[in-house]
């Protein structure tokens, strides 16, 4: 059984709140129309135990919203979420508490996500004691020391505060904190995008080593395709609130089938050069999620769009085992 199972997940945000929200003049008449951001619209996937599953896409595609909804930081507006076989879609905050230990998060900005008033040692021992992973403060401290050493923070630095560390070190502390309660799932939201490239490589290597060692699953959110290719087992490419294509890393990166995936790949700069200035460009920009295109949401920019694409949602087509494409043009 998969550790996480997500079915037809829907997330919406209402822009006009309150009684008078959404009031506007149209053609001389006062009308009330509520604008809704359709951030996630029918997303399904699963994460196996010990697997790194990545959601990738450009800003506004809904990848972070999916992650936050899956771990119930946002309430799902539709669909269902199963964690270890338990349907948590309607779980209350109180019901979620025992699960919080089993799911931890690593954030993009390691400074904003560490409490500036807690020393590194306190940052790590607090969740251990709260979730009763460690019986005594002494045990918690011993475990914290071992973890810090494992992520590359020297023992004598344990009493220091977040502002005394560099960005890369703070991210190491963020990772150690996530691991402190021995989670089964780690949700990492752009964990390396704020770091310089040489530090980014250190953190990526560390995450991959720790995964081997601790065996956690990971929902990895990123916009950098090269990073995603490096770290993931399976990948889903998202566009405007929906999954365009999903499969094994190898399937996605060596034989992309969705026109958006292809366009996205050809836009990634590479050291070998000669791609961007020569490749046919993907024209236009991502449309607004307030009033998304009907049918396939990519059709307004798709070089291969048909009239059919505006009429109906493309269904999932399995082009090879485990490799799913949502496109009318793919057989």
Partner 1 sequence: MRTMNETGVERSVGRQGELLLEVRDLRTYFHTFKGVVRAVDGVSFDVRRGEVLAVVGESGGGKSVTGFSVIRLIDDPGRIEGGQILFCGRDLMTLSESEMNRLRGSEIAMIFQDPMTSLNPVYTVGQQLEECFRLHTRMGRAERRRACVEQLRAVGIPNPEARLNNYPHQFSGGMRQRVVIAIALAADPKLIIADEPTTALDVTIQAQILRLMVRLVREQGRSLILVTHDLAVVAESADRVNVMYCGKIVESGDTRAIIDRSAHPYTDGLIRSIPSLEVDRRRLDTIPGIVPNMFELPEGCYFAPRCPRARDLCRVREPEPVEIAPGHAVSCHFPLEKSSSQREEVR
| Interacting residues toward partner 1 by CB under 8 A | 58-59, 166, 168-169, 196-202, 204-205, 208, 223, 225-227, 229-230, 253, 263-277, 279, 281-283, 285-286
How far apart (Å, rounded) are the C-alpha atoms in residues 326 and 328?
A: 7
In the complex with partner 1, the residue whose CB is nearer, 60 or 127, is: 60
In the complex with partner 1, the residue whose CB is nearer, 42 or 287, is: 287
How far apart (Å, rounded) are the C-alpha atoms in residues 213 and 218?
A: 13
> Do 51 and 2 touch, CB atoms closer than 8 A?
no
CB of 258 to partner 1, least distance (A): 14
Signed CA dihedral, 287, 288, 294, 298: sign only: positive
How far apart (Å, rounded) are the C-alpha atoms in residues 179 and 133?
A: 11
CB of 275 to partner 1, least distance (A): 6
The per-type count for the chain, helices as H runs and strands as E runs, is 10, 14
Quick one: DSSP state of residue 289?
A: S
**The pairing of beta strand 29-32 with beta strand 36-47:** unpaired
CB of 261 to partner 1, least distance (A): 12
In the complex with partner 1, the residue whose CB is nearer, 109 or 182, is: 109
In the complex with partner 1, the residue whose CB is nearer, 27 or 269, is: 269
CB of 60 to partner 1, least distance (A): 9
- Of 110, 112, 141, 147, nearest to 126 (Cα)? 141
CB of 302 to partner 1, least distance (A): 13
In the complex with partner 1, the residue whose CB is nearer, 229 or 317, is: 229
CB of 216 to partner 1, least distance (A): 19
In the complex with partner 1, the residue whose CB is nearer, 20 or 277, is: 277
How far apart (Å, rounded) are the C-alpha atoms in residues 261 and 245?
A: 7
CB of 176 to partner 1, least distance (A): 18
Q: Is 81 left (phi over 0), alpha (psi -120 to 50) or beta?
A: beta
In the complex with partner 1, the residue whose CB is nearer, 185 or 289, is: 289
CB of 142 to partner 1, least distance (A): 28
CB atoms within 10 A of CB 270: 10
Signed CA dihedral, 171, 177, 183, 189: sign only: negative
Please report the DSSP string for 45-114 in residue order. Answer: EEE-TT-EEEEE-STTSSHHHHHHHHTTSS--SEEEEEETTEE-TT--HHHHHHHHTTEEEE-S-TTTTS
In the complex with partner 1, the residue whose CB is nearer, 148 or 192, is: 192
């Amino acid at each position: 059984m998969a550790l996480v199972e997500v079915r037809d997940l829907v997330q919406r945000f209402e822009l006009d709140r309150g009684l008078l929200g959404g009031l506007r003049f149209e053609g001389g008449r006062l009308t009330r129309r509520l604008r809704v951001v359709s951030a996630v619209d029918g997303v399904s996937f699963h994460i196996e135990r010990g697997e790194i599953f990545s959601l990738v896409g450009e800003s506004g595609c809904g990848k972070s919203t999916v992650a936050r909804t899956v771990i119930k930081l946002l309430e799902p507006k539709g669909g269902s979420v199963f964690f270890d076989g338990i349907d948590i879609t309607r779980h209350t905050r109180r019901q979620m508490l025992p699960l919080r230990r089993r799911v931890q998060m690593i954030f993009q900005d390691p400074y904003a996500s560490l409490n500036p008033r807690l020393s590194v040692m306190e940052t790590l021992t607090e969740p251990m004691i709260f979730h009763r992973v460690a019986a005594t403060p002494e045990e918690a401290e011993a475990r914290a020391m071992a973890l810090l050493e494992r992520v590359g923070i020297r023992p004598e630095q344990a009493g220091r505060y977040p502002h005394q560390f560099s960005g890369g070190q703070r991210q190491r502390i963020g990772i150690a904190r996530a691991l402190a309660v021995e989670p089964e799932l780690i949700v990492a939201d752009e964990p390396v995008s704020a770091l310089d490239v040489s530090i980014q490589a250190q953190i990526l290597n560390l995450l991959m080593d720790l995964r081997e060692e601790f065996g956690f699953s990971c929902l990895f959110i990123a916009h950098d395709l090269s990073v995603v290719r490096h770290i993931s087992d399976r990948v889903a490419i998202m566009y405007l609130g929906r999954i365009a294509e999903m499969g094994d890393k190898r399937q996605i990166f060596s034989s992309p089938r969705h026109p958006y995936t292809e366009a996205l790949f050809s836009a990634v700069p590479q050291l070998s050069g000669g791609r961007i200035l020569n490749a046919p460009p993907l024209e236009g920009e991502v449309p607004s999620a307030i009033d998304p295109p009907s049918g396939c949401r990519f059709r307004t920019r798709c070089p291969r769009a048909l009239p059919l694409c505006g009429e109906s949602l493309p269904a999932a087509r399995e082009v090879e085992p485990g490799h799913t494409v949502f496109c009318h043009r793919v057989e």
